[in-house]
Amino acid sequence: MKQINVGMVGYKFMGKAHSHAYRDLQMFFPNSVRPAMKLICGRDEAGVAQAADQFGWEGYVTDWRELLKRDDIDLIDINAPSDAHKEIALAAAKAGKHLFCEKPLALTLPDSREMLRAAEEAGIKHMVGFNYRFAPAVLLAKKLIDEGRLGQIYHFRAWFLQDWILDPEFPLVWRLQKEIAGSGSHGDLGAHLIDLAHFLVGDMTEVIGMNETFIKERPMPASMTGLSAKGSKDAPKGPVTVDDATLFMSRFANGAVGSFEATRFAAGHRCTNSFEINGSKGSLKFDFERMNELQVYFTDDADDVQGFRRVLATDPAHAYMDAWWPPGHTIGYEHTFIHEVVELMQALEEDRQPVPNFVDGVKCQEVLEAVDRSIGERRWVKIDEV
């Protein structure tokens, strides 16, 4: 297998991130299967045409169904808004196309389960976009936990803090509308925390949560791109129908306990995606704003050097780093997407499911909906109830 032909639906924030990954993959991973950037799709012809030219796609279409008719398209990449995921994925699976879908898989748990079932019945490969797993420092945390160097895990605490909608006059973008996004900070930011918890610690058994929407109405947008938007001075207002902040606690199957906080109202925090893990033999701390670093503490260090140490995960000893720059030369956000695509291309070549895949997407959706039920019913909810 020398090449995988890609058709992509979406061309804004995640579209640019995925395009960059496809475009740069073989420059740094020359032995990988090559993703050929065949067609990009978007409803706005002027916008998608400009994106196709800027990002390096061979062509563009304005109807995603055109991608499925093409015999020379092997993989459908879905990074359109969440309300479009299910219809495209079901049709693509039926057409026998492999799938790479951004998180969350769908607006609801039944829909995400239907997507998984369709992919399994079609016998295709499927991947979900949890890119933060692919930071080398996070993979170092996974290695230390799996090797038992932290001992028994007691605590997982995580927080994803942003402030981009702090201004009450920031427009009502699609991410603030439940019918399009499914949820607010919970499904957008909290989903990443939940997946990291599953990846590093294991399955959760029950949750209890709370949420809040601080700004109930916002002006309608004149235009929006990614996480930015523009409004007009006299624009009418519409209701915000998602959460601005969600917090919850959890119990894990292995006995650990967890706490999670996701908010877009933490002034001064642009993208503070962080976790701390405490075990019987040590602790780990990670902050994506310093994504090349992992703070590590071991209880068996000598008394006179006890304390957290900073490990710079840029040496070739760390996952993926032998492909990049000399030790100490850091990588950034976009590289997590390249590592995702490395895993996807390897899985296709080896005829196996990539990880994370739709199974992980469904597991994340189960926790998201268990938390929502907990908030609605004001009680602990077991994951197997949803």
Same domain, 138 and 71: no
Residue 284 amino acid letter: L
Mean of pLDDT values over 175-200: 96
Same domain, 213 and 81: no
Residue 25 has pLDDT above 80, yes or no: yes
Same domain, 204 and 268: yes
Whether 39 and 62 have beta carbons less than 8 Å apart is answered as no
For 203-222, what is each residue's pLDDT tens digit?
A: 999 999 999 999 999 999 98
Residue 74 has pLDDT above 80, yes or no: yes
Closest CA to 105 of 134, 122, 91, 126: 126
Predicted structure pTM score: 0.96
Same domain, 113 and 147: no
Handedness of CA 266, 271, 272, 273 (dihedral sign): positive
Give the bridge partners for 257, in sequence order: 155, 251
Same domain, 259 and 328: yes
Tell me which of 19-23, 111-115, 177-181 is least confident: 177-181
Whether 127 and 347 have beta carbons less than 8 Å apart is answered as yes
Same domain, 24 and 118: yes
Same domain, 227 and 162: yes
Please indicate, yes or no, if residue 213 is contained in any of the structural domains.
yes
For 30-60, what is each residue's pLDDT tens digit?
A: 999 999 999 999 999 999 999 999 999 999 9
Domain harbouring 61, CATH code: 3.40.50.720
pLDDT score for 16: 98
Burial degree of 151 (CB within 10 A; 0-12, 13-18, 19+): middle
Please indicate, yes or no, if residue 384 is contained in any of the structural domains.
no
The residue range of the domain holding 261 is: 133-353+364-377
For 222-268, what is each residue's pLDDT tens digit?
A: 877 767 777 777 889 999 999 999 999 999 999 999 999 999 999 99
Mean of pLDDT values over 155-163: 98
Q: How far apart are CA 245 and CA 240, in angstroms?
A: 13
Residue 197 has pLDDT above 70, yes or no: yes
pLDDT score for 232: 73
Mean of pLDDT values over 165-186: 94
Backbone φ and ψ for 352, nearest 5 degrees, come out as -135, 165
pLDDT score for 183: 93
Q: How far apart are CA 278 and CA 216, in angstroms?
A: 38
From 101, 131, 161, the end of a domain falls on: 131
Q: How far apart are CA 211 and CA 283, in angstroms?
A: 29
Same domain, 98 and 200: no
Please indicate, yes or no, if residue 382 is contained in any of the structural domains.
no
Please indicate, yes or no, if residue 33 is contained in any of the structural domains.
yes
Closest CA to 184 of 278, 290, 289, 264: 264
Please indicate, yes or no, if residue 199 is contained in any of the structural domains.
yes
Same domain, 56 and 137: no
Same domain, 53 and 164: no
Q: How far apart are CA 371 and CA 75, in angstroms?
A: 33
* Confidence bin at 1 (pLDDT 50/70/90): low
Please indicate, yes or no, if residue 358 is contained in any of the structural domains.
no
pLDDT score for 226: 64
Domain harbouring 338, CATH code: 3.30.360.10
Same domain, 139 and 259: yes
From 131, 166, 182, the end of a domain falls on: 131
How many separate domains does the chain show?
2
Residue 144 has pLDDT above 90, yes or no: yes
What is the pairing mode between strands 126-129 and 98-102? parallel
Q: How far apart are CA 56 and CA 72, in angstroms?
A: 18
Tell me which of 104-108, 139-143, 260-264 is least confident: 104-108
Please indicate, yes or no, if residue 386 is contained in any of the structural domains.
no
Please indicate, yes or no, if residue 385 is contained in any of the structural domains.
no
From 79, 98, 131, the end of a domain falls on: 131
Give the bridge partners for 211, in sequence order: 246
Same domain, 137 and 115: no
